[in-house]
Amino acid sequence: MSQKIDWAKYVQQTEEKLSNISVNEKESEDATDTYSPAEASLFAKIIRKGLVDNKHDIDIQRNDPNSPLYSVKTFEALNLKPNLLKGVYEMGFNTPSKIQEAALPILLADPPQNLIAQSQSGTGKTAAFVLAMLSKVDTSKKYPQVLCLSPTYELAIQTGEAAAYMAKFCPEIEMKFGVRGEELPRGTQLTDHIIIGTPGKVLDWAFRYRVFDLSKISVFVLDEADVMIDQQGHQDQCIRIHKHLSPTCQMMFFSATYTERVMSFAEHIVKNPIIIRLKREEESLDNIAQYYVRCSSSEEKYAAVTNIYGTVGVGQAIIFCQTRKTASWLAGKLHQDGHAVAVLTGELAVEQRINVLDRFREGKEKVLITTNVLSRGIDVEQVTIVVNFDLPVDRDGEADCETYLHRIGRTGRFGKKGIAINLIDSDNAMRICETIEKHFGKTIKYLNTKDCDEIEKIGQ
């Protein structure tokens, strides 16, 4: 039986805690690295050329009414501004996905409706809220009206780039990145309509530099909303921002995952929300085949990675490590063995981080090794395999099912086929794997990476 929580007390306690927090605190984009004990997890994405071109599969999924990509309506039916519609088509989007079709009429409704939405990884949530953000701007007013928060620097940049692309034919809409490195002189008053950023920088701008007025924000978007309001995530900062918003501000919360506790907290802080929610068994996508591999040591895990890499004919790979140390170790070894690898962890300077990601997107590096800092939201279309070098665990060392889902969701984007491989090096890791399997009700099959034929089969 679930325990009843006194949310009013909970919020009050959070607010009391907030009075002791300095806005000068460490930037939040590092939080995934800093807060999560599962920082030490490995996320490997290995790209196999043969699996990349899967438009056909997308069409099949779209014809299936049970697919989250299924859509019957058109973007025209959403009554978007003509120049925005042009931008949508320019992005190559012909029909809205299921979440776009369901969320956009709610988000664009007059009077504004608050929304808490859940939809699987890679199903087009970003375009849904970005379109709503762009539609809601009143360009005759020269101040920030829309605020969109992301948990990491990379994700804020990715969302901003998607917004800029979509607003290609709306030059009157001005946007500003509120992320580390974007310095503003004291006394600046922002005239941009939209701020897309991370909570730490936005707090700094709102309270320390006062470059914009939070009470004038009329649309507030939380991407990866669950981690943003979870105690182990960015809750302190987000609640502080949320507290200063006008009561009439429209709230848009999006994520692929919400635990029960986080969902009831979201319902508590969002007034009269419309909720779009998935059943547990719908959370993980069927287009991502999941496997586990038994290994007895790090060295054996490394051998498994190279066997997969060699056999599946990998074009590119990203590897997610539990710790920065493991990431460096793995990168060094792969590098020694002649693989083109890149590493992205929270300790890099932000310009380096974005540079690494850009190079990977362009296919300049074969392997990208990272920590949980890249587990959410990052959209690299070509990724077809995710390898969890270690399974994600929470602070208590128990299975972190949400992080698992986000990690494997870096593959199988928008209906493409994907493969997730979990490297298991202990009985405890096996237990965690079984917990994850049970949680989502999806089989994680055994894979023998010493058997080349077997590995070859998974890529077919």
Ligand X SMILES: Nc1ncnc2c1ncn2[C@@H]1O[C@H](COP(=O)(O)OP(=O)(O)OP(=O)(O)O)[C@@H](O)[C@H]1O
Q: Which residues bind ligand X (CB under 6 A)?
A: 93, 96-97, 100, 119, 121-127, 256, 377, 379, 381, 409, 413-414
Q: How far is CA 87 from CA 101, 119, 157, 395, in A?
A: 17, 23, 18, 43
User: Smaller CB distance to ligand X: residue 61 or 114?
Assistant: 61
User: Smaller CB distance to ligand X: residue 125 or 242?
Assistant: 125
CB of 148 to ligand X, least distance (A): 12
CB of 418 to ligand X, least distance (A): 12
User: Smaller CB distance to ligand X: residue 14 or 287?
Assistant: 287
User: Smaller CB distance to ligand X: residue 151 or 199?
Assistant: 151
Distance CA 45, CA 380 (A): 10
User: Smaller CB distance to ligand X: residue 311 or 384?
Assistant: 384
Strands across the sheet with 175-178, in order?
A: 175-178, 194-197, 146-149, 219-223, 250-255, 115-118, 274-276
CB of 118 to ligand X, least distance (A): 10
String of DSSP letters for 368-400: EEE-GGGSSS---TT--EEEESS--B-TTS-B-
344 strand-pairing partners: 370
User: Smaller CB distance to ligand X: residue 114 or 120?
Assistant: 120
User: Smaller CB distance to ligand X: residue 71 or 145?
Assistant: 71
User: Smaller CB distance to ligand X: residue 134 or 305?
Assistant: 134
User: Smaller CB distance to ligand X: residue 94 or 443?
Assistant: 94
Whether the Cβ atoms of residue 76 and residue 95 lie closer than 8 Å to each other:
no
CB of 217 to ligand X, least distance (A): 22
Whether the Cβ atoms of residue 432 and residue 398 lie closer than 8 Å to each other:
yes
CB of 256 to ligand X, least distance (A): 4
CB of 41 to ligand X, least distance (A): 17
64 strand-pairing partners: none
Q: Which amino acid is at 212?
A: F
CB of 260 to ligand X, least distance (A): 19
Residue linked to tokens 């086929």: 417
Q: Which of 223, 248, 249, 250 is nearest to 238 (CA)?
A: 223
Helix, strand, coil % over all residues of the chain, rounded to 5: 45, 15, 40
User: Smaller CB distance to ligand X: residue 159 or 237?
Assistant: 159
String of DSSP letters for 301-357: HHHHHHHHHHHHTEEEEEEE-SSHHHHHHHHHHHHHTT--EEEE-TTS-HHHHHHHH
Q: Which amino acid is at 334?
A: L
CB of 52 to ligand X, least distance (A): 13
CB of 48 to ligand X, least distance (A): 18
* β pairing state of 43-48 and 314-320: antiparallel
418 strand-pairing partners: 288
User: Smaller CB distance to ligand X: residue 127 or 251?
Assistant: 127
Q: How far is CA 299 from CA 326, 387, 389, in A?
A: 12, 15, 11
CB of 311 to ligand X, least distance (A): 27
CB of 287 to ligand X, least distance (A): 13
Distance CA 377, CA 225 (A): 11
Q: Which two tokens stand for residue 8?
A: 């009013």
Length of the chain: 460
